[in-house]
Amino acid sequence: MPSATRNQSRNTIFLLLMLPILLIGFWLRIHQLSSYPTGVSNDEGINVIDILHVMHSGNFPLYEDFGRPEPLYRILQAVSNKFYGLSVWSARLTTSFFGLLTLAAAYWATTECLRDVPRDYRRIAALAAVIALTIAIGHITLSRSLYRAMLQPLYMLLTTGFLMRGLRKNRWRDFLCAGVFMALALYSYTAAYFVPLALAPVLISLAIFRRNNWRIWLPRLFLLGVVVGLLMLPVALRFLNTPSAVLGRASEVSKPNLQPLYLIGKFGGLFLADGDINPQYNAAHAPLVPTFFTWIFVAGLFAVLLRIRQTSSAYLAALLVLCAMPVLLSNEIPHGLRIMGEYAVFPLIIGLAVSSILVLLARISSRRILVAGSILILTGILGTQSVLAWGIYTNYWDHADNFYIWRIFGYALNHNEWFFRTDRRAFANWIKAQNHPLLIPLDELTRITTRTWLVDKYPNVKPIQAITLLPPDTTIVVPWSLESSSLMLETRDYVLLQGDTINLLPSFSQATQNALTANIETGERLSYEDQQLSFLGYAKPVPQGTVLTYEDTVSKPATTFSDQLQLASVQGQNQLSSERQPVMFTLNWSPLRQLGHDYWSYVQLLTQDYQVIAGSQDAQILRWLYSTTIWQSGDVVPDVHRFDVPALSPGAYRLVTGVYAIFGSKLSAHNANGEAFNPDIATIGWVKVPQLSQPVPDTTAVPINATLGDTFT
């Protein structure tokens, strides 16, 4: 058989051997995807809601989310979910596909890193690398989750493959592709910002061991750097203007313990002993490297040192250290998400170890025996360890009480109940099972987890004007709140769920709120399986003919803010008592154009000379229900602010507001006549505190008997 034909035949055999590994890897990442995880975390929910907003408007503010600045994951999710409709399950499925592609990329990257190893041995080593990643509990967990970092290992592996192939074949297009995928890794997750530094050891290695060919590799590496620089230029400019917009929360947690022994212990423990306890990013505290491969990984570290003359070894050694830096330089060790880049490193090191072992064994055994024996051993490892990995993963969810218990608001909660709020999933499932209109507190629908579970049944949100009567057969639902350990009976802000739409209503009057919630405990009690948070709330039909009334309008200022927003009206109280009291004001906003930012707002009560007395917390305007980026022309959107007012002296007090984007300055305000406020504080109404009784004139006062303009005496 000709050599080329024989090589092609072997290629086909090893690709066929990859097929069951990929199938099992995909099975571990999609089997019972609707059941595991048991719920969604807040961070996952944020991604789902952002995906929905991108799908609706095609508009997504880049690098304006302090906690999750990187945009690529949500954009790719929005594109893919356009084809099969958005739900928690479909979004998880997309992430599982990313995980599957990562497994395939690990095989190719390993073979490119081991080109100095005989062909069959490097292919077996690549199979071992893929198996190690396939059964890694952390990677299984994240492949079934909804986190932006999931893309980082995929793009890092593709970068590695193209870089190594480029250095081998000297093709410009390989370096171009390596630069593109490195930039995509940087757009995926901030922790990847350390990855370009791995090019420095590559340059050093080439300068030492391949310096005679510098005219070939140096300009090509320069091209790689130029590609990365050009693609990252928008982010670089954003960073120069507003560093926190790019680094996000990474800068907030960068307060490391730099004691060497501490770092070494944490570094080794994260890889080999005890992984992240946070159930969002890991399961069962599993270490990064699968336990079965622990000593093979350690052997791989020695193999890296022994073949340091190879450029791939210098590159892997650098990546191993650099991808751990986001964790080691933070105050959150271990952290299963910031260590994400290591999923593109440890499989390659395991592959390097296996190839080194095979090369050694080749001295005492024939190639055919080694290849056949290795395939049989890997088959056994894949079968047994896949079953074990699945058992560990599912046991973590099925027997959550056997793991860490969290003390939250006076309750002892397992990770299902706290991090993944299984009660909110049960509540949302009850809502989706109803076939009639529902009246639910706005606060419940702005809860990230609740909104996330409802995106498939209620994808649309629409503000509506005041209605007098509710649709026939409307049921009011009053949920129970963990945070307050009580029913949501105080709020007067509700939404009406009808058809596929969540309708935003103006604030009800106190009388209407009292009438709607009267005797709510006599309604249907909502609950699910017996857990700490089994009680969900009450539901009761609204009596036919119930007339709705709304909170008084304090003012209609028609104030505009930088040609972006207009404040159409303000609902609330225009008169307060002199005692300490809670207050609520609803700002009704209208967009003046398509808005490109998520806006924050606040309300404050000031003296007449602008001294602050009290105010609400700055808050994003309906960020997790009806973000400003998807508002439509003609919308009048309620924005509720609550705060406590201290005891006040009789008099008149200013009600003021302000609006801003998270990394921008406050929008300039103009009154109805187009005049700027001076000072730049938008007064949107006045609140009075009356005298407790009519003042009695002093006995020395001079009485006046006069008529002014036939009106006042």
E strand or H helix that includes residue 656: strand 651-661
Distance from C-alpha of 507 to C-alpha of 389, rounded to nearest angstrom: 51
Q: Give Cα separations from 657 to 269, 467, 560, 637 (angstroms).
A: 51, 27, 11, 16
* Helix boundaries (H) for 362-477: 367-398, 415-418, 422-433, 442-445, 448-453
Supply 355's token pair.
Answer: 């190839």
Assess if residue 580 is contained within a domain: yes
Burial 67-92, CB ≥16 within 10 A → b, else e: ebbbbbbbbbbbebbeeeebbbebbb
Note whether 136 and 37 are same-domain residues: yes
Note whether 560 and 529 are same-domain residues: no
Distance from C-alpha of 417 to C-alpha of 401, rounded to nearest angstrom: 10
Domain boundary (397, 412, 446) is at: 397
Note whether 522 and 560 are same-domain residues: no
Assess if residue 190 is contained within a domain: yes
Q: Do the beta carbons of residue 322 and residue 112 sit within 8 Å?
A: no
Note whether 66 and 180 are same-domain residues: yes
CA dihedral 23→313→326→385, nearest 10 degrees, is: 30
Q: What angle do CA 501, 506, 511 make, to 5 degrees?
A: 120
**For residue 489, what pLDDT is reported?**
94
CA dihedral 145→151→157→158, nearest 10 degrees, is: 140
What sign does the CA torsion over 113, 116, 120, 125 have? negative
Distance from C-alpha of 531 to C-alpha of 537, rounded to nearest angstrom: 15
What sign does the CA torsion over 504, 507, 512, 517 have? positive
Note whether 583 and 628 are same-domain residues: yes
**For residue 667, what pLDDT is reported?**
93
Q: Do the beta carbons of residue 71 and residue 62 sit within 8 Å?
A: yes
Note whether 501 and 366 are same-domain residues: no
Note whether 445 and 344 are same-domain residues: no
pTM for the model stands at: 0.92
CB atoms under 10 Å from CB of 97, counted, come to: 14
Q: Do the beta carbons of residue 467 and residue 498 sit within 8 Å?
A: no
**For residue 92, what pLDDT is reported?**
97
**For residue 246, what pLDDT is reported?**
83
Domain boundary (517, 541, 565) is at: 541
How far is C-alpha 95 from the chain's CA centre? 13
**For residue 331, what pLDDT is reported?**
64
Burial 697-712, CB ≥16 within 10 A → b, else e: eeeeeeeeeeeeeeee
**For residue 3, what pLDDT is reported?**
61
Backbone angles phi, psi at 510, to 5 degrees: -65, -35
Q: What angle do CA 499, 545, 587 make, to 5 degrees?
A: 65
Note whether 7 and 120 are same-domain residues: yes
* Nearest of 57, 71, 37, 96 to residue 449 by alpha carbon: 37
Domain boundary (366, 397, 428) is at: 397
Inter-helix orientation angle 367-398/3-30, to 10°: 10
* Nearest of 282, 331, 308 to residue 141 by alpha carbon: 282
Assess if residue 414 is contained within a domain: no
Note whether 526 and 674 are same-domain residues: no
Assess if residue 172 is contained within a domain: yes
Beta bridge partners of residue 603, listed in sequence order = 657
**For residue 648, what pLDDT is reported?**
93
Note whether 335 and 426 are same-domain residues: no
Assess if residue 701 is contained within a domain: no
Beta bridge partners of residue 619, listed in sequence order = 601
Assess if residue 410 is contained within a domain: no
Note whether 463 and 561 are same-domain residues: no
For residue 304, the enclosing domain spans 3-397
Distance from C-alpha of 374 to C-alpha of 593, rounded to nearest angstrom: 65
Supply 105's token pair.
Answer: 């990329």
Note whether 654 and 520 are same-domain residues: no
Assess if residue 713 is contained within a domain: no
Residue ranges of the chain whose pLDDT lies below 70: 1-7, 249-267, 331-336, 530, 708-713
Q: Give Cα separations from 359 to 3, 118, 124 (angstroms).
A: 22, 8, 11
Backbone angles phi, psi at 604, to 5 degrees: -135, 150
**For residue 70, what pLDDT is reported?**
86
Distance from C-alpha of 304 to C-alpha of 257, rounded to nearest angstrom: 28
- CATH number of 565's domain: 2.60.40.2550
Inter-helix orientation angle 294-306/346-361, to 10°: 80
**For residue 376, what pLDDT is reported?**
96
Q: Give Cα separations from 146 to 157, 291, 542 (angstroms).
A: 20, 25, 38
How many domains does one find in the chain? Answer: 3
Assess if residue 69 is contained within a domain: yes
Q: Give Cα separations from 77 to 19, 138, 437, 440, 649 (angstroms).
A: 26, 21, 31, 29, 55
